[in-house]
Amino acid sequence: PTETEQRQAAGTLARIEGTNLYDAVVENINGGLAKVAELLGRNEAELAAAAVPAEAGNKSKEHEAFDMNDFL
């Protein structure tokens, strides 16, 4: 996966953290908690600096092609 895809995955995980969806994602992946923690930790500083409100509606072709399973 590209850096952009990894940042998108980390952003998605950060937004759903603390929800049932997040729990389901982590539970259904072998070593999921470690993989998610690594992805979030690696991109935490970038996400904080580049945070964009969800209502901005900025959708790109990369966003449409994104598949969380590529990272888990």
Q: Cα torsion at 5, 63, 30, 47 (round to 10°)?
A: 60
DSSP string of 8-58?
Answer: HHHHHHHHHTTSHHHHHHHHTSTTHHHHHHHHHHHHHHHHHHT---GGG--
pTM > 0.75: no
Q: Compute CA 35 distance to the chain's CA centroid, rounded to the nearest angstrom.
A: 11
pLDDT digit string (tens) for 19-29?
999 898 888 87
How many Cα neighbours within 13 Å face the side chain of 12?
Answer: 18
pLDDT digit string (tens) for 19-63?
999 898 888 877 777 888 877 787 676 656 665 555 555 556 666
